[in-house]
């Protein structure tokens, strides 16, 4: 894989840092284990992996693709990375993303653009474009991402890979750089559903260091994927989410056509397909773009020039105070999209506006959860396209934040409701780019989507 990385990186640019020395050391250590020791490890033991640069790695620079963290070398490992190491999985490097995971194209990275391996004139999606591109380009067999509003799934759809956001609380967030804490979740980016399930079982399960971590082991995803691979879905009820089932202007016709073809395949395998309604899903985007910036503005307050990375002193002639140093640091260290969201978030949280904005958005969120609960009374798993479009060209949405935000229309609802969701490839459109099919399962029923996805794969 290090050889593939060397050959592919000049065009793909999926990695912000390749940690070859560490990876080779970890691989050597794994090789030295006895056959008995290896047999006792998970099935993916020894398989290398790439990690989104939003997840901290001890001794390996971690930047969240932001200038404000440039040069920061974490003194500790995130829980997921600890678990990868315990499974003998070498870390190939840190992958590119939109700065602090804010974006849908990876173009907001402070350092580089990542190309879509299917068409290098197009974006790989975002924010986890680096992880998805690395997996799609065979630079890494597996990768980790973080998903706050679709950042594992939408890049999965854009690169023809499998992207999963587990149930909120299913995977520890300890050591994941916080974007919006009530929405953030770490998950796998892989080329197959079974790989995803096996990786999820390694990183998932209770962790005392994350207070929102569910006190239980990971869900039985791998067994479900193996069962699904037999392509018998008799007894499973699949609900088509009416409001985002691919009709309407936002959806490219071929995305919808591939989605419908996959629904037909589920039916052919014995699933009962019905239409369900999640009526208030239309308010998801609005609620998300209040809740997310509010939490992000609060989380990003820690980048003050004191604790981590960059420090910029005020220019000559300006009083050299701590407050001025913080302003100068944040002005130089954060990119435009991050600043835009900090402004939105601090506004929504400010006295006098809190109830009108943040309070209302949280209420809307509860209504959306209620709608999903009702839909799950009728169906075991819900389906919709992952993203309304295939990968778009570089530059085509970068100056229009609203156009970029709208691409998240089908991924955001699962984050708001804490539900597990997964994107798998559904075909290739006539423009030569892959399309994505999304499953959404009830909380802590991740195995249901793994079973259905493995059947469809």
Give yes or no: 151 in active site: yes
Size of the site for ligand GLN (CB under 6 A): 14
Q: β-strands 162-165, 186-190: how paired?
A: antiparallel
**Residue 118-137 contact track with ligand GLN, rule CB under 6 A, x = bound:** ---------x----------
Query: CB of 134: closest distance to ligand GLN in angstroms?
Result: 17
Distance from C-alpha of 162 to C-alpha of 136, rounded to nearest angstrom = 10
Place of tokens 């699933």: 271
In this complex, which beta carbon is closest to ligand GLN, that of residue 101 or of residue 140? 101
Distance from C-alpha of 170 to C-alpha of 17, rounded to nearest angstrom = 28
In this complex, which beta carbon is closest to ligand GLN, that of residue 179 or of residue 202? 179
Give the range of 145-153, 306-314, 317-325, 362-370 binding ligand GLN by CB under 6 A.
145-153
By CB under 6 A, is residue 95 in contact with ligand GLN? no
In this complex, which beta carbon is closest to ligand GLN, that of residue 131 or of residue 443? 131
Give the range of 62-70, 101-109, 421-429, 440-448 binding ligand GLN by CB under 6 A.
101-109
By CB under 6 A, is residue 292 in contact with ligand GLN? yes
Distance from C-alpha of 232 to C-alpha of 414, rounded to nearest angstrom = 26
Give yes or no: 127 in active site: yes
Question: Which one of residues 23, 101, 132, 419 is an interface residue with ligand GLN (CB under 6 A)?
Answer: 101
By CB under 6 A, is residue 179 in contact with ligand GLN? yes
Residues with Cβ within 8 Å of 174's Cβ and at least 6 positions away in sequence, in order, are 78, 79, 207, 209, 210
Active-site residue identified among 66, 78, 127, 284: 127
In this complex, which beta carbon is closest to ligand GLN, that of residue 243 or of residue 408? 408
Distance from C-alpha of 66 to C-alpha of 300, rounded to nearest angstrom = 12
By CB under 6 A, is residue 187 in contact with ligand GLN? no
Q: Tell me which H or E stretch contains 40.
A: none
Distance of CA 97 to CAs 63, 152, 285, Å? 10, 11, 21
Give the range of 95-103, 186-194, 426-434, 444-452 binding ligand GLN by CB under 6 A.
95-103
Is 329 within 8 Å of 321 (Cβ atoms)?
no
By CB under 6 A, is residue 304 in contact with ligand GLN? no
Give the range of 57-65, 97-105, 226-234, 259-267 binding ligand GLN by CB under 6 A.
97-105
CA gyration radius for the chain?
21
Residue 233 structure tokens: 């879905």
Query: CB of 335: closest distance to ligand GLN in angstroms?
Result: 13
Report cis status (omega within 30 of 0) of the bond before 212.
no
DSSP 302-344: G-SSSSSS---PPPTTS---HHHHHHHHHHHHS-HHHHHHHHH
Q: β-strands 421-428, 434-440: how paired?
A: antiparallel
By CB under 6 A, is residue 148 in contact with ligand GLN? yes
Give the range of 45-53, 142-150, 370-378, 424-432 binding ligand GLN by CB under 6 A.
142-150
Question: Which one of residues 114, 151, 196, 435 is an interface residue with ligand GLN (CB under 6 A)?
Answer: 151
Distance from C-alpha of 144 to C-alpha of 53, rounded to nearest angstrom = 9
In this complex, which beta carbon is closest to ligand GLN, that of residue 178 or of residue 379? 178
Q: Tell me which H or E stretch contains 77.
A: none
Residue 244 structure tokens: 């985002």
In this complex, which beta carbon is closest to ligand GLN, that of residue 69 or of residue 233? 69
The residues annotated with a catalytic role in the active site are 52, 127, 151
Q: Please report, as ranges, the residues that interact with ligand GLN according to CB under 6 A.
A: 101-104, 127, 146-151, 179, 292, 408
């Amino acid at each position: 894989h290090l050889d593939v990385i060397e050959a592919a990186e000049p065009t793909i640019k999926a990695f912000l840092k390749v940690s070859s020395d560490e990876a080779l050391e970890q691989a050597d250590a794994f090789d030295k284990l006895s056959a008995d020791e290896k047999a006792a490890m998970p099935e993916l033991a020894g398989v290398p992996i790439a990690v989104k640069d939003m997840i901290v790695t001890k001794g390996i620079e971690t930047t969240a693709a932001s200038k404000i963290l440039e040069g920061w070398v974490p003194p500790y490992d995130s829980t997921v990375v600890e678990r990868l190491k315990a499974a003998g999985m070498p870390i190939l490097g840190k992958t590119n993303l939109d700065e602090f995971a804010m974006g849908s194209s990876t173009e907001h990275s402070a350092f580089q653009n990542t190309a879509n391996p299917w068409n290098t004139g197009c974006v790989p999606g975002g924010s986890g474009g680096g992880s998805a591109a690395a997996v799609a380009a065979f630079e890494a067999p597996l990768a980790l991402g973080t998903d706050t509003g679709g950042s594992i799934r939408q890049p999965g759809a854009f690169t023809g890979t499998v992207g999963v956001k587990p149930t909120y609380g299913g995977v520890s967030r300890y050591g994941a750089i916080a974007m919006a804490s009530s929405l953030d979740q770490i998950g796998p980016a892989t080329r197959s559903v079974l790989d995803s399930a096996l990786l999820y079982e390694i990183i998932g399960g209770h962790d005392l260091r994350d207070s929102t971590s569910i006190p239980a082991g990971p869900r039985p995803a791998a067994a479900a994927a193996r069962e699904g691979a037999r392509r018998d879905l008799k007894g499973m009820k699949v609900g088509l989410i009416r409001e985002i089932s691919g009709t309407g202007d936002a959806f490219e016709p071929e995305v919808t056509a591939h989605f419908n073809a996959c629904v037909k395949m589920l039916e052919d395998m014995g699933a009962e397909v019905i239409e369900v309604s999640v009526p208030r899903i239309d308010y998801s985007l609005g609620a998300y773009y209040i809740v997310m910036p509010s939490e992000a503005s609060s989380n990003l307050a820690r980048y003050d020039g004191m604790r981590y990375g960059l420090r910029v002193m005020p220019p000559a002639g300006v009083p050299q105070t701590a407050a001025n140093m913080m302003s100068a640091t944040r002005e130089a260290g954060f990119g435009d999209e991050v600043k835009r969201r900090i402004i939105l978030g601090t506004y929504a949280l400010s006295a006098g506006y809190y109830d009108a904005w943040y309070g209302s958005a949280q209420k809307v969120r509860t209504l959306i959860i209620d709608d999903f609960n009702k839909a799950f009374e009728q169906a075991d798993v819900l389906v919709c396209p992952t993203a309304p479009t295939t990968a778009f060209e570089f530059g085509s949405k970068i100056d229009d934040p609203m156009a970029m935000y709208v691409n998240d229309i089908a991924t955001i609802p699962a984050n708001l409701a804490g539900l597990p969701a997964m994107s798998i490839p559904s075909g290739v459109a006539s423009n030569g780019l892959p399309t994505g099919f999304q499953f959404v399962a009830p909380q802590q029923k991740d195995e249901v989507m793994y079973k259905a996805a493995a059947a469809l794969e």
